Amino acid sequence: MVVRGIRGAITVQHNEETEILQATRDMLHQIVVDNEIKPEDICSVFVTVTQDLDAAFPAKAIRQLPGWELVPLMCSLEIPVAGGLKQCIRLMVHVNTTKSQSEVIHVYMNEAVKLRPDLTQAAN
């Protein structure tokens, strides 16, 4: 087993707690399903948000999920690059896995598909 990073990003339409938390849950759920992982396989999750999202800590959504209470979580602000994607939540999930880098499925949802079209699944 090795530690791999699984990337995810999603955008929201409004700076509202319920929308931020739901988007975080949706993205994490897709990462978990696509990569067949369990909370006990997770080493840690690093979460960033753009500066225009300050209504909630996205980690709150993760911490409320059954089995995720002990997973180390960290939130931070995304670097405010001029012209960068707005209202975006990003995850870097560090997971113990037997998968190779090429087998890991990264998840980009909503407007975030623009960030890495080369990695975006057709279903997202």
Residues annotated as part of the active site? 7, 63, 75, 78, 90, 108, 116
Give me 70's structure tokens. Answer: 């002990």
Q: Hey, which residues does 71 pair with through a beta bridge? A: none
Of 98, 121, 74, nearest to 3 by C-alpha is 98
Q: Between the CA of residue 104 and those of 36, 46, 95, 107, what are the distances in Å?
A: 10, 17, 10, 10
Contacts of 40 (CB under 8 A, 6+ apart): 67
